[in-house]
Amino acid sequence: MNLLAHPMEYAILPKVTIGREINVVTVCTVDHSIRVVTKIKNTMKKTKKKYGRYVALSVALSLLVGTIGVAQESTKLSDPEVAHVAVVANQIDIDYATIATKKSKNADILKFAKTMANDHEAVIKQAAELAKKLGVTPKDNAVSKQLLEDAKKKQKELNGYSRAAFDQAYIDNEVAYHKAVIGAVENLLIPETDNGELKALLENVVPALKAHLAHAEMVQKELTSKK
């Protein structure tokens, strides 16, 4: 199974197999940047803990952009691309909140959704102000496109739930989504960012994301206990 895109590329860490049939290889590319490649395989092997950090990075990205199963995906992003991914990731959660506002009658869910909409709106506003200040135009890229594509599917799925089943599905998705976004921001976007102010903004967003996750888990627990 060849995971290299170009004859000049070479793996800087050996192939690692995780979970069920997923290969992970950290590759040095032609332009000497580093990217993590994931690929579905046919046989099963145990995870090698030695390369856990690289596996975690790849899994976080894969969860976020839904690339498990996609043959090769570059994680190298420029600052305008990082800014765009950040804006898109925030907008997606606002869109989920909009669905919740329309479908749910549960006070906890409605309150949580309102907080998500307001907080992510505030982050987008700050990102837009910073981009304007730095003279940077957020740039569309493979990661943001994949994010939007996956979000579209999830929105369709959420809209399809009955009112009774929606609350659980929404909050479960919020828990999973925030976990994935935290992993991606910490392990992908922050390390990939060169500009100090953009990096600082991303670092400031992490505590808010973690608070959202804790809040979502709290609501999830309350919903489960009422069943």
Partner 1 sequence: MNRWIGVFGWFAFAVVAGWLVGGCQQVRHQAAARVDVSLRQMQFAPAEVRVHAGDTVVFTNNDIVTHDVTEETAKLWTSGPLVVGESFAFVAQKDVTYYCSIHPIMKGKITVE
Q: Could you list the residues that contact partner 1 (CB under 8 A)?
A: 115, 118-119, 122-123, 126, 204-205, 207-208, 210-211, 214-215, 218
Q: How far is the CB of 211 from partner 1 (least distance, A)?
A: 4
Residue placing its CB nearer to partner 1 in the complex, 40 or 214: 214
What radius of gyration do the chain's Cα atoms show? 19
Task: Return the closest-CA partner of residue 195 out of 85, 87, 82, 90.
Answer: 82
Strand partners, 16: 24
Smallest distance from partner 1 to CB 96, Å: 17
**Nearer to partner 1 among residue 126 and residue 155 (C-beta):** 126
- Which of 75/90 has CB closer to partner 1? 90
How far apart, in whole angstroms, are the C-alpha atoms of residue 87 and residue 124? 6
Residues in the chain: 227
Q: How far is the CB of 87 from partner 1 (least distance, A)?
A: 15
Nearest distance in Å: CB 215, partner 1: 6
CB of 126 to partner 1, least distance (A): 6
Q: What share of the chain is helix, strand, coil (3-state, %, to 5)?
A: 65, 10, 25
* 89 in Cβ contact with 151 (< 8 Å): no
Q: Decide whether 126 or 168 has the Cβ nearer to partner 1.
A: 126
Could you tell me the CA-to-CA distances from 75 to 12, 38, 91, 152, 165 in Å, in that order? Answer: 15, 11, 21, 22, 36
- CB atoms near residue 216 (< 10 Å): 23
Residue number with CB closer to partner 1 (118 or 224): 118
Minimal distance in Å, beta carbon 59 to partner 1? 25
Please state the separation of Cα 202 from the chain's center in Å: 13
The b/e string for 119-136 (b: 16+ C-beta within 10 A; e otherwise) is bbeebbeebeebbeeeeb
Nearer to partner 1, 137 or 204 (CB): 204
